[in-house]
Chains A and B, each alone.
Chain A
Amino acid sequence: MNKCCAVTLPAKMQDVNIQNYINGEWVAPTSGAYLKNYNPATGMEIAPIPDSKSADIDNAVRAAKSAFPMWSNMPGVERATILNCIADLIDQNCAALATFESQDQGKTVASAAAIDIPKCAEYFRQFAKYVTEGIRETESSMKLVCTTSSINKMVPSSQRATTQHVASGVAALITPWNFPLLMVCEKLAPCIAVGNTCVVKPTELTSVTSYLLTHILNAAGVPKGVVNIVFGSGVNAGEPLVKHRDVRLVSFTGGSVTGAKVGALAGGLFKRVSLELGGKCPSLVFSDCDLEHAITTHVRGAYQNQGEVCLSASRQYVQRDIYEKFLDGFRKQVCQEVCVGDPANPKTFYGPVVTKQHMEKVTSYIRLAQEEGAKVEFLVNPNDPAVMNVSADGRLTIEGLEGGYFIAPTLITGIKQSSRVMQEEIFGPVVCVAPFDTEEEGVQLANDTQYGLGASVWTEDQKKLERVMRQINSGSVWGNNWLAWDDCMPFGGMGCSGTSREHGPWSLEFYTETKVL
């Protein structure tokens, strides 16, 4: 039985030297080339990342394939022990990981420490439990899914039929930059818990914490080859990984455009694929809601994590009777409470967006809205001393962080439903608010989208709540809240938001093969 060791992580960003982690060793990319990487708060260069190509991917998949028989045959309880060890090491290094995440991604240290990092540890513990307990029934789910156990049925005479869920093989895990380490762990935990081995290809925009994870995996006793992390771009590293003949399944979280490519490649090669893509999540705020609670939640839903959340409450439809009142309350709350600035400052609500290019993309939507004649407001606290300037398209100049990619909390009203600003995912601190009159109109507006990931409905009338929630075409619908979370509920989208469901038993289902004996 492995003893859980401690791990020593680099003390500062300058000490971080990102290399590929293949077959239990840290190696340079075969090309010797590296991609630049930046701290979004300062615009300064930080740890460059390997620019990996097919050769590196081949090495990684080969390592994963060799490790598969040993790992999948290991008793589940032993894998679970390692998973719990990983969780412990993540917890022990929460502060450090949160700081590195913030410096790489731009999110506040406080949010990384409160949300991202603890969740990473939780995922490993949750799936360690699934493996040892075999079955878990969720409060609201009738589904019983087993990992290494199976369902046994007595059929007539002396036959017995057993359904087994077994490990699939080598998985490709491709992750995005909005919750870098969290997204990796969300996939990694169930993937290896059930006995698969894998190659992880994190986004090149935020690779630091994934690299640090390799040290944790190593210290936790994950055998060599079970988890390989290869850094690089989607084109040079991601594509060969998805296409690799020994990769059995692909789990991808990212934008819908890349998702379409991944889906097409994987589907054409008969690989199982899970796509968690974008969203343009609507909320419907009826006049008989708890207005104060609605406003507070919508402020959070619009701007948390810089709005870089697939579930961001980016389209808010408010019933006309309370429309002005809602907006007044919203503006007031944002100006008073949402401070944008140094991610290391505990008072900061959100930090810079992830890259210069992304700042360009987000502000382009702001400019578009302005061109279309919508009302665009930047809800910056006039008394905030850190904000030195607000540009015409919402960029903030923050004192001491003049090179950073900061965008003001932006409120857009008077925008057409058909506008690109209303229909396309902006993925920044920009929210559109519009009025609606009748319930039918509200539902129609909410469903008028190519996406279908999350939505929320706000009313104190139980009957209306149930009726409206049922009519919204969305993978998750929240009633009188936003992002209330249960790790056992299926998560995923409709339409362009994606193709599958993960979390809890649904992840177990995705990562295993079903056989009947």
Chain B
Amino acid sequence: MSSILSRLPFDETLIYINGEWTKSQASQTCRVENPDTAETIATVPECNARDLDLAVQAAYSAFHDGPWVNEYSGAQRRDALLALATAIEESRQDIEELESLNTGKPINDVRVELDDTIDLFRFFAGYADKVEGRHIAAQTNRNLEGYTVKVPVGVVGFINAFNYPICLLAWKVAPALAAGCTVVFKPGPQTPLTTQYFAHLLHKTGRFPKGVFNVVLGGVGVGQALVDHDLVDKIGFTGSVATGKQVIRSTASTRNVRCTSVELGGKSPGVVMPDADLDKTAKLVVSGCMANAGMNCNALTRLWVHRSIYDEFMPRLKAAAEALVLSTPQDTATEMGPLIDKRQYDRVLEYIRIGRDEDQAALLTGGQPALGRGYWIQPTVFYNVSPTARIATEEIFGPVLSVLEPFDELDEVIAIERKNEFGLAAGIFTRRHQDIAKFTRKLRSGTIWVNNYNALYSYLPFGGFRNSGFGRELGYESFDGYLVPKSIIDDISY
């Protein structure tokens, strides 16, 4: 079978706005690469402010005047999302191939991500017809009878990151559409292709009125325009802390105040206690850090190992890291892929240099480019790292793990982690009930994994504390974030 690139069912030089594939108003284009080889695989438009305005206007009309909210029942929106989930499922092989080519992700990882994507559309579809308010009968307070009605927040603008293109699209778009919102979606500039494929499938179901879902392509310029647009009611952002702060600032400076939800990154700690199963833990730690080549906001990037098992653990950790298979992403044996682009590649190599030269950390394994092509870097582990070292505190977003100096008491670890700039995730490896209870109670981290890592669950909210951001994705909590209550109060004695 020929490569998916030669038989895309949509024209990647067009953009999907207001139910149509149209030409961009801009003349700029953007090169799309395969990071395995650094080859160009496609050229897509780089949208401008005019494209963005058309997209937002389409979403605005669709919301206020179109049938999506004003005529459709929750059950109809539910069925539309279920049809979309099935459509994704039916084309999943093509989407997997496309995602793997565009991101360098190992094909096995992409398959799991497609499972999640399909599951999320079905999961949130289930909430679409279960929007409920409250009713307070007059008896509670004399003659006033009151009730709440929950309405969708409106036009939602999404700025997605490049690390999980189709999967994070599902995280954002599924609950927003289920709640009755309309969407303008901007994928990461490096990874537009599966988003476009998604738009194609959504259009093909015929169940989404025009303007309900729109895609704009591009980088910072069109992203800023989206954030600045007055007709957008809510912004959902996944990306770096610096850009996230800019997004938040912008939402206050437009004419209309609007809400934001930002997911910004992490420097998530793992803790290996003396009773941990060292072989299993070594493997879990390695996959916790190196999955997606470390380009994972909740990656386990700083590791605490108890002094009593430090020397026993390190060789196992080294072996597990070195056992990772780096090869052609489309090969099912491959376990880790390349960095997404030159910028990330350079940045990670720079951090490795900082680790060696400035932080004076000892290198356990890795540290060099790999495969002699594209943007590959070896899985890299530093050890005996000071907890305040730059490589131990700054987000690298690459396959680099810092094993910190050995620790003695869990209480020390918890005290030091309180000063972690981030608070997205954490993991603990132990069977001791008391330690688990203490760790899970005290750590201010959005997700805490016990004897596993990176397992995500549609049902439970995901998000951070402090510089990891605010707002929650997944779970009922995220769905509720796309709704606003209105209170209707009636004097029945009148």
A and B are interacting partners: yes
Q: Which of B140-148, B189-197, B239-247, B292-300 contacts A (4 or more CB under 8 A)?
A: B140-148
Indicate whether A75 sits within 8 Å of B75 (C-beta atoms), given known contacts A152-B148, A153-B132, A465-B433. no
A460 within 8 A of B: yes
Please tell me if the beta carbons of A152 and B135 are within 8 angstroms of each other in the complex: yes
**Which residues from A are CB-within-8-Å of B147?**
152, 160, 162
Is B137 within 8 A of A164, CB to CB? Answer: yes
Closest B residue by C-beta to A74: B139
From A131-139, A361-369, A375-383, A429-437, the one touching the partner chain is A131-139
CA distance A132 to B131 in the complex (A): 24
Q: Is B436 an interface residue (CB 8 A)?
A: yes
Candidates B75, B135, B142, B430; contact of A162 at CB < 8 Å: B135
Asked if B134 and A151 sit within 8 Å, CB to CB, the answer is: yes
Q: Of residues 127 to 181 in A, which have CB atoms within 8 Å of B's CB atoms?
A: 131-132, 134-135, 146, 148-156, 160, 162-164
A429-455 interface mask toward B, CB cutoff 8 Å, 1 = contact, 0 = none?
000000000000000000000000000
- Are B132 and A148 neighbours in the complex by a CB distance under 8 Å? no
Chain A: minimal CB distance from B282 (Å): 19
Chain B stretch 109-156: residues in CB contact (< 8 A) with chain A: 131-137, 139-142, 147-149
Q: Give the CA-CA distance A132 to B139 in the complex, in Å.
A: 10
- Kindly state the separation between the CA atoms of A464 and B432 in the bound complex, as whole angstroms: 10
- In angstroms, Cα B434 to Cα A155, docked, is 48
Using A134-B136, A148-B136, A149-B134 as known contacts, say yes or no to A154 and B432 having CB atoms under 8 A apart: no
Contact B149 A75 (CB under 8 A): no
- Which of A73, A131, A148 has the largest number of chain B CB atoms within 10 A? A148
Which residues of chain A are near B142, meaning CB under 8 Å?
75
Q: Does B431 contact A (CB under 8 A)?
A: yes
Choose among B132, B149, B434, B451 the residue that contacts A460 (Cβ–Cβ < 8 A): B434
Query: Is A15's beta carbon under 8 Å from chain B?
Result: no
CA separation between A134 and B145, bound complex, in Å?
13
For residue A18, give the distance in angstroms from its CB to the closest CB of chain B: 35
Q: Are A75 and B141 in contact (CB under 8 A)?
A: yes
Docked Cα-Cα span, A6 to B147, in Å, equals: 39
Do A152 and B132 touch (CB < 8 A)? Answer: yes
User: Contact: A152 with B149, CB < 8 Å?
Assistant: yes
Answer whether residue B73 sits at the interface, using C-beta atoms and an 8 A cutoff.
Answer: yes
Q: Which of B425-456 contact A (CB under 8 A)?
A: 430-434, 436, 450-451
Contacts of B132 in A (CB 8 A): 151-153
**Cβ of A76 < 8 Å from any Cβ of B?**
yes
B434: chain A residues within 8 A (beta carbon): 460
Known contacts A154-B131, A162-B147; is-contact A462 B432 (Cβ 8 Å): yes
Please tell me if the beta carbons of B137 and A150 are within 8 angstroms of each other in the complex.
yes
Residue A33, interface by CB 8 Å: no
- Is the pair B139, A134 in contact by a Cβ cutoff of 8 Å? no
Interfacial chain B residues near A76, Cβ < 8 Å? 139-141
Cβ-defined partner of B134 (8 Å) among A150, A155, A156: A150
Interface residues of B, count at CB 8 A? 24
Q: Which residues of A contact B148 (CB under 8 A)?
A: 152
B135 contact set on A, CB distance < 8 A? 146, 149-152, 162-164
Do B133 and A154 have beta carbons less than 8 Å apart?
Answer: yes
Q: A77 near B: Cβ within 8 Å?
A: yes
Question: Complex formed: what's the CA distance from A131 to B433 in Å?
Answer: 38
A480 at the interface (CB under 8 A from B): yes
Inter-chain contact A156/B140, CB cutoff 8 Å: no
Prevailing SS type, chain A contact patch: mixed
A459 in contact with B140 given A135-B134, A152-B148 (CB within 8 Å): no
Tell me, yes or no, whether A463 is within 8 Å of chain B by CB.
yes
- What CA separation (Å) do A479 and B140 show in the bound complex? 40
Interface positions of A from 455 to 478, Cβ below 8 Å from B:
459-465
Task: Compute how far the CA of A465 lies from the CA of B450 in the bound complex, rounded to whole angstroms.
Answer: 14
Tell me whether B137 and A461 are in contact (CB under 8 A). Answer: no
A461, B75: Cβ atoms under 8 Å?
no
Report whether B140 and A75 are in contact in the complex, using a CB–CB cutoff of 8 Å.
yes
Residue of B nearest to A157 (CB): B73
Select from chain B the residue with minimum beta-carbon distance to A165.
B137
- A153 near B141: Cβ-Cβ < 8 Å: no
Q: Are A459 and B139 in contact (CB under 8 A)?
A: no
Within 8 A of A (CB), among B65-79: 73, 75
Are A463 and B140 in contact, CB atoms less than 8 angstroms apart?
A: no
Q: Is the CB of B134 within 8 A of A463?
A: no
Our pick among B140, B431, B450 for the contact of A77 (Cβ within 8 Å) is B140
* B180-200 contacts to A (CB < 8 Å): none
Complex interface: chain A residues within 8 A of B134 (CB): 134-135, 146, 149-152
Chain B residues with Cβ below 8 Å from A135 are: 134
Contact B139 A73 (CB under 8 A): yes
Q: Which of B136, B142, B434, B436 has the most CB of A within 10 A?
A: B136
Which among B142, B147, B148, B450 has the greatest number of chain A C-beta atoms within 10 A? B147
Could you tell me the distance between the alpha carbons of A149 and B138 in the complex, rounded to whole angstroms? Answer: 9
A480 to B451, CA, bound (A): 21
Task: Determine the chain A residues whose CB is within 8 A of the CB of B73 once the complex forms.
Answer: 155-156
CB-CB < 8 A to B141: which residues of A? Answer: 75-77
CA distance A73 to B139 in the complex (A): 7
Given A156-B75, A162-B135: A148 touches B433 (CB 8 Å cut-off)? no
Q: Please report the C-alpha to C-alpha distance between residue A465 and residue B431 in the assembled complex, in whole angstroms.
A: 10
Given A156-B75, A459-B433, A463-B431, A134–B140 Cβ distance below 8 Å? yes
B-side contacts of A464, CB under 8 Å:
431
CA distance A251 to B35 in the complex (A): 69
Closest to B149 in A: A154
Question: How far, in Å, is A69 (CB) from chain B's closest CB?
Answer: 13
Complex Cα gap A164–B134 (Å): 10
Bound-state CA distance A468–B170 (Å) is 37
Q: How far is the CA of A463 from the CA of B431 in the complex (A)?
A: 6
CB distance from A439 to the nearest CB of B (A): 14
Q: Mark B204-235, 1 if CB is under 8 A from A, else 0.
A: 00000000000000000000000000000000
Chain B residues contacting A480 (CB-CB under 8 Å) are: 433
When chains A and B are docked, how far (Å) is the Cα of A132 from the Cα of B136?
10
Task: Write the nearest CB–CB distance from A405 to chain B, whole angstroms.
Answer: 41
Q: Which residues of A contact B149 (CB under 8 A)?
A: 152, 154
Bound complex: CA A479 to CA B139 (Å):
42
Question: Whole-angstrom distance from the CB of A205 to the nearest CB of chain B?
Answer: 39
Q: Indicate the member of B136, B140, B149 with the most A CB atoms within 10 Å.
A: B140
Q: Which of B131, B139, B436, B451 has the most CB of A within 10 A?
A: B139
Please give, as numbers and ranges, the residues of chain B lying within 8 Å of A74 by CB-CB distance: 139
In the complex, A135 Cα to B148 Cα: how many Å? 13
Write out the residue numbers on chain B whose beta carbons fall within 8 Å of the beta carbon of A77. Answer: 140-141
Q: A154-B131, A154-B149, A156-B73 are in contact. Are A148 and B137 (CB under 8 A)?
A: yes
Q: Which residues of B contact A479 (CB under 8 A)?
A: 433
Measured CA separation A463–B435 after assembly (Å): 12
Contacts of B75 in A (CB 8 A): 156
User: Does the CB pair A131–B140 fall under 8 Å?
Assistant: yes
Q: Mark A54-81, 1 if CB is under 8 A from B, else 0.
A: 0000000000000000000111110000
Which residues of chain A (174-192) have a CB below 8 Å from chain B?
A: none
Give 1 or 0 for each of B289-325: 1 = CB within 8 Å of chain A CB.
0000000000000000000000000000000000000
CB distance from A517 to the nearest CB of B (A): 9
| Cβ–Cβ contact A132 & B133, under 8 A | no
- Contact across chains for B133 and A151 when beta carbons are under 8 A apart: yes
A283 CB, nearest partner CB in chain B, Å? 16
Residue pair B140, A460 in contact (C-beta under 8 Å): no
CB of A292, distance to nearest CB on chain B (Å):
14
Chain A residues in the interface with B (C-beta under 8 A):
73-77, 131-132, 134-135, 146, 148-156, 160, 162-164, 459-465, 479-480
22 contacts between A and B (CB under 8 A): A75-B141, A75-B142, A76-B139, A77-B140, A132-B140, A134-B140, A149-B134, A149-B136, A149-B140, A150-B135, A150-B137, A151-B132, A152-B147, A152-B148, A152-B149, A153-B133, A154-B149, A459-B433, A460-B433, A461-B433, A462-B430, A480-B433
Other CB < 8 Å A-B pairs besides A149-B140, A153-B133, 5 of them? A75-B142, A149-B136, A160-B147, A163-B135, A460-B433
Closest A-B pairs by Cβ, 6 of them: A156-B73, A152-B135, A462-B433, A149-B136, A152-B133, A150-B135
